A and B are shown apart, each in its own frame.
Chain A
Amino acid sequence: MKKLFVLLFSSFILLGAMAQVDRGNLLIKNGTVITITKGNLEQTDVLIKDGKIAQIGKNITAPAGIKIVDASGHFVMPGIIDAHTHIALDGINEGTNPITPEVNESDVINPFQIGIYRALGGGITTVHAMHGSANAIGGQCETIKLRYGTFDPEVLKMDGAPRTIKFALGENPTRSHGEGSGIVPRTRMGVEFVIRQAFTEAKEYSEKWNQYNKSKLVKGFRGAPPSYSYRHEVLSDILNDKIIVHCHSYRADEIYMMLKVCKDFGIKRIVFQHVNEGFKVAPELAAQGAMASVFSDWWAYKFEVYYSTAYNAAILAKNGVVTSINSDDGEMMRHLYHEAGKTQKYGGLSDEEALALITINPAKQLGIDNRVGSLEIGKEADIAIFKNHPLSIYGVPMFTIVDGVIRFDREKDPDDMRLMVDPKQAIETATFRDKLSDQDHCMEGAEFILDSELFNANKK
């Protein structure tokens, strides 16, 4: 009896520690199913059981009591994945040092942000919640699913998704540290140096530990362990292929530099973020298996994106680089389907190629393509249902489903979808995005160290 009690009690604790994720059952009837990986299926049903896609086919018999979504005349596609966002986070930049792999966005996830719901309104189901770009080696990031409605940060996390970390090259780390604090790096030379230095120190660190771990097995060994450094632990994990690097970058020269650093340190998995001049080194990126996550058409908001082209995604894709389109912005992420459509104007990509940029390709970049990013039996039931084709300007997300649970319903949701009302918030205060501010939100939280002309320009 006592044993049973202990068993019950411990399983209760275990349950409490494990995030309770809702997984639904659902039958989506009669839509045009865009699978991404296996073509389009007209007038087809998708059956979801326990949060996973159980069946795709015509005239599936509805299991008793199952909720049905009528998708007649609508388009059913995989939930959109944004490989670069800063939503659902209470902190973005640990801008105090050029090297901060020890910090982790998973510690500051905020499930209450209305931005999560707004993203669902754009058909988004999974996002990469990233550290900012103030540091050459920034913090670790978190891949989250938009299970809006939960109060538990743990529930948002995509359990089992590979670890990722943010790197940053170019103007942001050099203006944050070199210009802002007078420490290396102030140039792209310095950026390369601090990254190589960090990896070299990490290698020394793990060699010391390896040596110690070996020595302590020898009988009669006396000696103290090397001092522990979480920073170097994380860096070692990067070198041991346990973490995918997501590297904020713009110019071809710095991208090429980072490719060489990866080669020299044996880093296999790297995704370049923004990578506006990626098109200039597309053959090199493809040859090394590096991937690219780009803006559709942002340019000219700072010097390092002056020589950009909206044809970037098409050039990269046609050169064999696994490419995605990201937002880095709470507004833009609500219409990534439209941003993907721009690759048809700028480079003539097919519907399939264009939609891959916001589904299976970002899934590959986050290492979750075995679970999401296409509509296939056994995959997680993350689905967006559109009125009109998603690549059409008239495409409107009607339902967004995460793990078989409807998280966004355009017709039924009330206007006010806040989970928590701040009693101190003024009802009448509106927020307008500053027309003079930098476009990428990568520097949020690091304004204090910025060249302040930008932020002060409109603060008269």
Chain B
Amino acid sequence: MKGLQTIMGLLTAIVCIVVLRVEAQSPKGKYGNVALTNATIETVTKGTIQNGTVLIVDGKITAVGSNVSIPTGTDVIDCKGQFIYPGMIDAGTNLGLSEISSVARTTDFNEIGEVIPQMKALTAVNPNASAIPVTRVSGVTTALSIPTGGMLSGTAALINLHGYTPDQMFAGFEGIVLNFPNTGRRGFFDRRTDEEIKKASDKALASLNDVWEKATQYQKLDSATKGKAGYYPELQALIPVMRGEQTLLVEVNASKDIQAALKWLKEKKVKKSILTGVAEGWRVADEIAKSGIPVITGGVLELPTRDYDRYDKAYANPGLLKKAGVKVAIKSESNNNNYRNLPYHAGFAVAYGMNKEDALKAITIIPAELFGVANKLGSIEVGKSATLFICNGDPFETKTQVSHVFIEGWSMPMVSRQTELYNEFLKREPGLKK
């Protein structure tokens, strides 16, 4: 009898395992050599190729052109009537760091502390965040995942949106985030007086200067002692920036603050820096251009920052910056898990004045250059990583459908929880009556 029970128990367990395995079976990425044929190829850096082929071998683009011979045994995807673009890069997200933005226990982008550059976003990137597939099926293949809050919030990391560990996802760039002292208001609930705002920002600048002075001294000490200057993790983390080996990402939005930041970066002789946000960049575009410091601006779909500004200034900002001679990348808004809308931010910039080619570059090759990964990402070129997508039209157009996404040669399953819910509920069963 006992034996029977054991057998029954075992059988139940086996059935359960089988059922669970079936239940848990989500489609996986597929790796292999693929030829994408008959496509219109938007290389971004080398013009448009009609009726062309992109050959993917071992995760890399090995041939691009209208006359590509396809090795035997290569899978072929006929892209007739379709377009191939390099994967889009969103340089302003917290992908992997936030599951539900208002539920603190599901977010990992805001550590305690004002000066914590040693906090590394890559550590906390959850490869299984639900927003990752939601984002990548729209052709956004790569994202800068950014810690926020405090003054030096941590180290941002560029990730490809496929992989099972942070290291598998890492796309080759990390940068230190500085929230430059801000004289703007933070929204309808920020009811500080102008004096309070000024005081807070002056205090922040003094404290930033203090940190920088300490970091400068520490860096000298570190050189002199050959790395034995003692354990000061926040100062240690700043050394690569001091030595011009790492990029400082300076989040700054109000025009006055942008001017102050430019002055500060010059004074402190920061070699590698990028301004991010830059909502009021158009007001001081010439000064930014003169500094030679590149910009990652966005979200573009924003309100003007002042009541008296023209209604479309936020939409026009990227175009105005570009026109003044600034190197411009475009990002979507941070912290809302709608990074899939990146092409629409670029599209609005075009609708309100930016050149279409420049807007496409602003979400592909330019962020790749800014992050020092243009040898791998940002365009369709031989030797680069096969990180690209196939779609049926202009990727900025709202109705355009993305049919395939490749990330480092891996063909992505074109599903996310949002498509799964669609398939389940479009014709719900049972319907009204059970």
Contact = CB atoms under 8 A, between A and B. Distances in A.
Interface of A: 114, 117-118, 121, 279-280, 282-284, 287, 297-303, 306-311, 314-315, 318, 330-332, 334-335, 338, 341-342, 344-347, 388, 391-396, 415-418, 421, 425-426, 428-439, 441, 444, 447, 453-455, 457-460
Nearest to A410: B312
A444 B418 contact: no
Contact of A301 (B100, B304, B309, B431): B100
B185 A430 contact: yes
Given A300-B131, A345-B401, A436-B148, A308 B418 contact: yes
Given A308-B418, A432-B305, A300 B399 contact: no
A460 B334 CA distance: 19
A431 B312 contact: no
Interface size class of B (residues with CB under 8 A): 35 or more
Interface string B325-366: 000000001111110110010011011100000000000000
A300 B97 CA distance: 13
Given A396-B351, A431-B185, A460-B114, A346 B422 contact: yes
Given A280-B425, A394-B351, A435-B333, A341 B418 contact: no
A52 B41 CA distance: 50
Interface of B: 98-104, 110, 114, 130-131, 148-150, 182-190, 194, 197, 253-256, 277, 279-280, 301-312, 333-338, 340-341, 344, 347-348, 350-352, 394, 396-401, 417-419, 421-422, 425-426, 428, 431-432
Contacts of A117: 311
B400 A345 contact: yes
Contacts of A306: 99-100, 130
Nearest to B313: A415
A17 B187 CA distance: 37
Contacts of B351: 388, 393-396
Contacts of B350: 393-394
Contacts of A298: 336, 338
8 contacts: A300-B99, A301-B336, A309-B419, A331-B301, A345-B399, A345-B401, A393-B348, A432-B254
A117 B98 CA distance: 35
Contacts of A437: 187, 189
The CB with the most chain B CB atoms within 10 A, among A300, A338, A391, A395, is that of A300
Contacts of B347: 393-394
Contacts of B397: 392-393
A315 B425 contact: yes
A441 B303 CA distance: 15
Given A114-B307, A311-B419, A331-B302, A428 B256 contact: yes
Contact of A434 (B100, B186, B419, B426): B186
A392 B130 CA distance: 29
Name the 3 nearest CB pairs between A and B, nearest first: A341-B398, A393-B347, A344-B399
Nearest to B109: A436
B101 A118 contact: no
A426 B196 CA distance: 13
A303 to B, nearest CB: 5
Nearest to B399: A344
A432 B333 contact: no
A314 B425 CA distance: 11
A415 B185 contact: no
B187 A345 contact: no
Contacts of B333: 435
B417 A309 contact: yes
Contacts of A332: 301
A332 B308 CA distance: 19
Contacts of A430: 183-185, 253-255, 279-280, 305-306
Contacts of B428: 280, 282-283
The CB with the most chain B CB atoms within 10 A, among A314, A394, A395, is that of A394
A344 B399 CA distance: 5
Given A331-B301, A436-B148, A303 B103 contact: yes
Nearest to A444: B188
A455 B102 CA distance: 10
Contacts of A347: 422
The CB with the most chain B CB atoms within 10 A, among A118, A299, A308, A396, is that of A299
Contacts of B301: 331-332, 335
A180 to B, nearest CB: 15
A279 B421 contact: yes
Contacts of A429: 183-185, 194, 197, 306
A302 B422 contact: no
